[in-house]
Structure 1
Amino acid sequence: MALAPTKVRLATHGMAIAQTLLWACLYYSFPATLLTWHQQLAWSIADVSLAFTICLVASALCSPFIGRLIDKGFGPRVLSCSAMLGGMALLAVSQVQSLWQFYAAWLVLGCASAGCLYEPCFAFLTRYRGDNAKSAITKVTLYAGFAGTLSFPLCHYLIDLLGWRITSVSLALIVLLIATPLLFISAKLIQGAQSSELRKTQAIANIKQSSAPNAQLKNAVFWFIALAFSLSALNHTVLVNFLLPSMHALNFSADNAVLVMAMIGPMQVLGRIAMISVDKRLSNTLITMLCFGSLLVAAFLLWQLDHLQHLIWLFVVLQGSAYGVTSILRPVLTKQLLGEQGFGAISGMLAVPYLLASASAPFLGAFAWQLNQQQGIFGLVSLSAGLGFMAMAACCLQQTAKITRYQKLTAKPK
């Protein structure tokens, strides 16, 4: 018997809380602690940033395998075991003494992230929530949009009070004692709500879906989606890692700089709420194009900060809200344009370039910083925003052309 819808809704909220804690502890803790590691361990910004690159490369390489496991019904175990591994990796981070140990800990943390953050969570919700997946994903991202808001001030406070090692232990305990069990229970409830009829349907689909992911490699829309969202990932990850030192170079006060970083999360939530209000009036493709346009305008504003520092707040609104909406639209648009069959595997394949772009961001950002400090960062952000806008425009045009051809082929003769 299917569980009551109320239990499923509560489980979705539980998963959203778990995702918020996991993003705060496993992802945003890195940029929040970056300068502390640089200063206290006497490692260069580039050396420290390489750990995040290693983390994201490991996550990218694991993603296709994780997606296939979710397609086979192992979602709750994959999500919870990965979260547990992430908590243990944070404990390892707290004990590092040398750079190679730091890299090894973040390598493990990257493998863990592949199985418990947005990509597997959204693939799981798409598989088990069906037509309700979009609303479930929106709920998760509304909560998780506050992960940065939680992480930056919390890490800033705990590091000042206890030091970065105890801070890492504290974050690990949050993951192990709160996020992991909450994620497992929520996922089991959602999976258990699947009707026996849907199980039969998916069992049949599982026979067919093995060839679906490979077929998408010949689809131009697949590659445009991969390119556009990968460039948006590069854009945002560079900012997450280098906006703080860029503001420091532009003589922003430390408190204002931390506040700016903390406000990116709420702006993501604001953007998602705005999307909900226009969701029935605007198509997913149009909303996506508006988001990529906002990222481009936000990049332009960065160049004005040297003389007009107050524009940082408009930048935060545009950047945060646009990127927040794209995190919802990426799985939704993928399902709409590429279909639901073998979605976990397709999502995992798309995650590879997305995460590799994120992985390259700390390295490329460090290189840009060494070339021309904040001006180099702003140039990299502008380039990725511009190319991402063009890739998404090409994706929309390609899909429109495909629909037009189909309509011509199926049109009845007059």
Structure 2
Amino acid sequence: MTPEADSGDAAAVWLLALGQTLLYAGSYYSFPALLPALEADLGWTKATFAAGPTLGFLIMAGLTLWSGRLVDRGFGGELLIWAPLMVAGGVLLLGLVRSPLGWNLGWAIIGVAQAACLYETCFAFLTRRLGGDARAAITRVTLVAGFAGTLAFPLGHVLGQAFGGQGGMLVFAAMIAGMVVPMNVIAVVRLRRKARVAGLARPADAPGALRRALAKPAFWAISGAVALIWLNHGILLTYVLVLFQDRGAGPALAATAAACVGPAQVAGRLALLMAGARISTATATLASLASVVVAGGLLWAAGAAMPLIFAFAVLQGAGAGLLSILRPVLVAETLGRDGFGAISGAVAIAPILASAAAPSVGAALLAMGGTPAVYAATWLMALAGLATAALLLRRV
């Protein structure tokens, strides 16, 4: 990329990165960030609240391949512009409803929209528009968007105290509609102009590549390992304030510790970039999974030493942050680069489904065994994910 082009592309990519940050903060993270205030507002059980995000993730998983096909047909920019408005509408509804039916409807709307405007769509759009420069652009997006939780948890704490849980949702909805959409419009226009000037075209599809990948044990091993970690991460993230308070932290300190997950994700990604070729994908993958295992042990031990919640947040965030970058690299190295987009999208379904199940699984664990059941189950998930990846990587 030339310096001139880099100047124009960089501005557009940074705008998309900020847009992804605000989207994740206003939709994905707003629920756990406002959960205590929402419980005070509406008085529902955790299982009732959790049904909404679960429904949203299930819908998102079902539509991921559909949105990918739309990007391939040249509609990625439209998705990134209009779908955030739909997300804002769903979050707005969450701030107004008084019944579980309305709550679930709001999350259904969010699920449809998220399938069209979060990471998978953003990365596919960047790949289509920037060609060989897409890898650097995607890295920038993940580095910035890693701060979504850092923004959402303290902001959610302040908004919950000032306006209540539903009032906080209304503020998040306004943030998405008023900030994300204009930034995405500018970014899409600039990147499309760059693609036209460079004469970039979408690479041809590789017929049968996905079918061949599905026949390989490595595909299912990667999907299973990532799904286990995303189920672990989703449960812990959804109920992080509850768990931290159970370990002895006050509401403000719990929100502060939760906000450390985002910077830790970014730190993990930066460390991987700085290490470069000196660390193999296999080693980095095992290190990221081991980090999540150790984090679970520290959260358990925080009952005796409450400050360990900060160490948990750092290791959990670093491990999950690394895995989000390593997943597509691992797919390419073990399953090949032919038909990469379709294969990567298929692998992404497993963690999305895990994220869908996480709120409800976490609520069920809390109902059946309280916080000890959550600590034990999530640690076993991390351990199983590490073991699965270790077996896979011994064979490649």
The TM tier, using the shorter chain, reads: over 0.9
Cα distance change on mapping 1:332 and 1:11 into 2, 3 Å? farther
Matches within 5 A, 1:10-409: 10-194=11-195, 199-200=200-201, 202=202, 205-206=204-205, 209-398=206-395, 400=396
Contact 1:123 1:347 in 2 (8 A): no
Asked if the contact 1:7–1:189 (Cα under 8 Å) also holds between the matched residues in 2, the reply is yes
One-letter amino acid of the structure 1 residue matched with residue 331 of structure 2: T
Superimposed CA distance per residue, residues 49-84 of structure 1 (whole angstroms, 9 cap, x where no aligned partner): 111111111111111111122222221112222111
Q: Give 1:218 shift.
A: 1.1
- Contact 1:94–1:168, Cα closer than 8 Å, also in 2: yes
Structure-2 change in CA distance of 1:218 and 1:324 (3 Å): same
TM-score, length-scaled by structure 1: 0.90
The 2-side partners of 1:198 and 1:387 are apart by 46
Equivalent-residue separation in structure 1 for 2:165 and 2:24 (angstroms): 18
Q: Is the 8 A contact 2:29 2:148 kept in 1?
A: yes
Structure 2 counterpart of 1:411:
none
Task: Determine helix, strand or coil for the equivalent of 1:43.
Answer: coil
Could you tell me how far 1:361 is from its partner in structure 2? 0.9
Contact 1:305–1:312 (8 Å) recurs in 2 = yes
> Identity of counterpart residues, as a percentage?
35
Note if contact 2:227-2:350 (Cα within 8 Å) is conserved in structure 1: yes
The C-alpha deviation readout for 1:389-412, integer Å capped at 9, x for no partner, is 1222233223x2xxxxxxxxxxxx
Quote the Cα distance in structure 2 between the aligned partners of 1:395 and 1:79.
Answer: 35
Q: 1:390 to 1:125 in 2, by over 3 A?
A: farther
Cα distance in 2 between the residues matched to 1:80 and 1:233: 27
Does the aligned pair in 2 maintain the 1:54–1:107 contact within 8 Å? yes
CA contact (8 A) 1:71 1:345 kept: no
In 2, are the aligned partners of 1:71 and 1:344 still within 8 Å (CA)?
no
Point out the structure with max Rg over C-alpha.
1
SS in 2 for 1:193: helix
Q: Classify the secondary structure of the residue corresponding to 1:308.
A: coil
Partner amino acid, structure 2, of 1:164: G
> Matched residues in 2 for 1:79 and 1:344: separation?
18
Q: 1:141: how far off?
A: 1.4
How far the C-alpha of 1:332 sits from its partner, in A, is 3.0
1:299-323 deviation digits (Å, cap 9, x = unpaired): 1212211112222222122111111
Could you report, residue by residue, the CA deviation over 1:299-356 in whole angstroms, capped at 9, with x for unpaired residues? 1212211112222222122111111111122233333433444443333322221111
Mapped contact 2:157–2:252 kept (Cα < 8 A): no
Distance (whole Å) between structure 2 residues aligned to residue 347 and residue 116 of structure 1? 17
2:301 is paired with a residue whose SS is coil
Say if 2:37 and 2:161, in contact at 8 Å, map to a contact too.
no
Q: Structure 1 residues 166 and 210 mapped into 2: Cα distance closer, same or farther (>3 Å)?
A: farther
CA deviations 1:188-237 (Å, max 9, x no partner) are: 4234323677645x36x14xx35322332112222111111111111111
Point out the more displaced range, 76-85 or 21-30: 76-85
Contact kept, 8 Å, 1:21 with 1:179, in 2: the verdict is yes
Query: Compared with structure 1, are the counterparts of its residues 112 and 4 closer, same or farther at alpha carbon in structure 2 (3 Å cutoff)?
Result: same
Moved more, 333-342 or 211-220: 333-342
Verify the 8 A CA contact 2:20 2:145 in the aligned structure 1: yes
Q: Is the 8 A contact 1:66 1:348 kept in 2?
A: no
Deviations along 1:89-141, whole A, 9 cap, x unmatched?
11211221211010011011011111111122223233433443332222111
Distance, in Å, in 2 between the alignment partners of 1:41 and 1:81 is 30
Contact 2:130 2:200 in 1 (8 A): no
Do 2:20 and 2:118's aligned partners in 1 also have CA atoms closer than 8 Å? Answer: yes
Rounded Cα–Cα distance in structure 1 between residues aligned with 2:233 and 2:71? 27
Q: Could you say if the C-alpha distance between residues 43 and 78 of structure 1 is closer, same or farther in structure 2, counting changes exceeding 3 Å?
A: same
List runs of 5+ in structure 1 lacking aligned partners.
401-414
CA distance in 2, matches of 1:369, 1:116: 32
Contact 2:129 2:200 in 1 (8 A): no
Q: In the comparison of the two structures, how many residue pairs are matched?
A: 394
Taking structure 2 as the reference length, what is the TM-score of the superposition? 0.94
CA distance in 2, matches of 1:8, 1:174: 24
Gaps (5+ residues) in structure 2? none
Change (3 A) 1:185 1:384: same
